[in-house]
Structure formats: structure tokens, C-alpha cells
Amino acid sequence: MAEFRQVAGWEYAEERRLVISTSRFGVGQAEDTNKTPLGLHRIAEKFGDGLPAGAVFESREVVGTVAEKPKAGIAHRILWLEGLEPGFNQGGNVDTHARYVYIHGVGDESTLGQPASRGCIHLAATDLLPFHDRTPTGTLLWI
């Protein structure tokens, strides 16, 4: 469902396919639906630079580790998305950024590969850490 294509700085010459999870409620743009938004996005903000793998976040602040909170909903790193299509995924009640839609890790990775999130895109820590480190803010992606 999501394509991550890096324009500059990505060390991999070939296209990579990553196992992800998207919303268990399906896809859609509207706020309060917990659906994964579609369309053109960019990485607006990143959180977790310099932190060890296993950091657990609440409201983008570190509150512990996966060892302490194995069922953590947001872990390792956060890439906060911004929709770039006015009226579709930007502005009003369809604004991806205002909906707090992230690419992030989770404490329990057993649901990767199946719909499991509440709108965000989940990645395994082994994929998320290099993706976060090598992907600059402003990078475009299509969901």
C-alpha cells in the first residue's frame, strides 16, 4: 500500500519492499476515522535521532523502553507525515499532519504485514532505524 522512494542519499540502488502494517479500519482521509490516508505526502518532522532502538514515545516524547513496555504503540522512531494534496490529504478535516499520522515502530511486531494500526504506518525496527536515519525531512512518499 505504501511506496517509499528516496530521491537523494538512499544507499540502496534497488527499490526495496518493506513489510508494513496500515490501519485495521482501512484507508481514508477524514479525521476521527483512524484510517490510513492516501496520496502524496512528505516527511514533515522526525523524532528519535540519536536514541537507542527501543525508545517508547507518547506525544512524541520518550517515556520508556520497549523492554519496560513491550506492547508500546509507538516505538523506536517517528516520521510525522504531511499531506500535499489540498482538499484530499491537506487542510480541513482531511489533514494528515493534523491527524498525527506517522511512520513508526511498535513494541510488538507480530502484526506487521496485516492491517493493525489506527491510521499510521508501522515498520519493523530493523527497517525503521535505517529508513529514519537515511531519509531527510522533506522526502516525498506516496501512500
6 confidence band (pLDDT: 50, 70, 90): very low
Domain boundaries, the chain: 20-142
* pLDDT at residue 5 greater than cutoff 60: no
For range 91-117, the mean pLDDT: 96
CATH code that applies to domain 20-142: 2.40.440
**13-65 pLDDT, tens digit each:** 456 678 999 999 999 999 999 999 999 999 999 999 999 999 999 999 999 99
Alpha-carbon separation of residue 95 from 28, 46, 66, 81 (angstroms): 11, 18, 30, 10
